[in-house]
Structure 1
């Protein structure tokens, strides 16, 4: 009886995975969610009509999913919104179909949010991993807040972020006109309502590979971040605009570094 009461006292956590033609990574993502030690978890998968065997992978785990669907959609942002529309949890997160959780991530995030009811979102650290699952670096996570977010200091690995459903209902859903910066837009809206807190624990793995959106991100992400900045009354004379202009200048170097990183790790495998 005591164990049952403990279970009902724990908040339900809803995790959404948006996916489209990511069969080679999808199963690892699913397993990393379903192997979490947190007992009150509902998992939802929104597939965009994949044709690469993803549906067959999802069907293997269908009896352990709260809900799933495979149908054409308007992209990742639309898929995430669709998943959260079917979620019932008090705490929400999304995990893309090429990323993974570390063991214990959900339990630790929930424990922090339970101990700090004033915090609207908690996030941890994330490793960078390559397409083979090898750790190749660490996301530069750090404490941020509304003021620093507005200045372009994000430092939040989306894969390791968990936020309260009550706030989502207040500021959501994701803006479907954003392709890259929908998470930044959400962080700004959440931070306007409640504190965000960084916990220096590795909770997720952020996969970098040749097909990943992140490899192309700078060219489209920063202009989308500026849309948020100007929408909320930001000035041209601000740190986020300066950072954008600097990154435009150094973008060729950043792309060269990413290509070099992938070549180095592929050569390390003899490929």
Structure 2
């Protein structure tokens, strides 16, 4: 479905080229983006809805990924990774920090310490069911110039919509100076007004959370530890996970017991290097029992830092690789 606001450029010529693959197309003046969205959904069929603005593109296999998540998870709302492009270069990947489960209305309403602090969605990364759309009113608010999507997510949360996040790219979002939300002050001003109107309209008694303000310069520090280094299957897998943290803009460091084991069999040097890095979290993996039946390194690290285990090739538990 294509809803165009009466463009006088090459839009109609391009649409004509794809006429045989377009089910519904109209190019006429409208009352703005929100009105155009409602016009499109009024003729939409299917079980899963979304809208895509003319700046943006779906990522390869996005629709397949969403369909699989819908079938497997029975979600009302599906959100994925949004890849942000500027001047045709990938500059950022975003994934909402909202947890799977009911959309957290109180946190979405908390603009400073919740929504804008990382729980937000880039609108085209979000897919939702027809049933939820209709339950929440079956229209976006046409009084909104920037924030029609945010107001819709608030209504979804009011109806306790079940969110599932999938860790695959769903959309390529293009940043440029001509887009509406490039005017950040105007966009955020409307966002506050929309939130406050929503509270009044639905008689919600809400107070802002006491979360500390977000320090955007602060990176998560993650230490990865294995014993034989980052090679072979499990070592490569762990290094790829470290790479994913790094790609997300976090601060990672990798250590291996083979390098840091001292002549007396101890790991004092390792503990010193890890302490120097001062991680927020440690992730163990690919432990082949370089010191058989000895979990003293694990115990020592776990007393100092939040610690996770990747049990891929974790011989201390499994005995050997095949298990």
Corresponding residue number in structure 1 for 2:208: 238
Structure of larger gyration radius:
2
What value does the CA root-mean-square deviation take over the aligned residues?
2.3
Corresponding residue number in structure 2 for 1:130: 86
Q: Deviations over 1:18-68 (max 9, x none)?
A: xxxxxxxxxxxxxxxxxxxxxxxxxx0100000111111111111101101
What secondary structure does 1:210 align onto? coil
Corresponding residue number in structure 2 for 1:148: 107
Structure 1 residues 218 and 205, CA gap change in structure 2 (3 angstroms): farther
* Separation in 2, partners of 1:125, 1:114: 19
What secondary structure does 2:133 align onto? helix
Relative contact order, CA 8 A, sep 6+: which one is greater?
A: 1
2:6 aligned residue (29, 49, 64): 49
Corresponding residue number in structure 2 for 1:73: 30
Corresponding residue number in structure 1 for 2:48: 91
Q: Deviations over 1:228-260 (max 9, x none)?
A: 3443245685259x98xxxxxxxxxxxxxxxxx
Flag structure 2 segments of 5+ consecutive residues without an equivalent: 214-323
* Separation in 2, partners of 1:88, 1:115: 21
* Separation in 2, partners of 1:225, 1:185: 11
1:121 aligned residue (60, 66, 77): 77
Q: Is residue 2:125 matched to residue 1:160?
A: yes
Greater share of helix? 1
Structure 1 residues 195 and 208, CA gap change in structure 2 (3 angstroms): same
Corresponding residue number in structure 1 for 2:143: 177
TM-score, normalised to structure 2, is 0.57
TM-score, normalised to structure 1, is 0.67
Tell me if structure 2 keeps the 8 A contact 1:142–1:156.
Answer: no
2:68 aligned residue (81, 87, 111): 111
Q: Deviations over 1:172-209 (max 9, x none)?
A: 20000001110001111112222122222211111011
Tell me if structure 2 keeps the 8 A contact 1:124–1:160.
Answer: yes
Flag structure 1 segments of 5+ consecutive residues without an equivalent: 1-43, 244-271
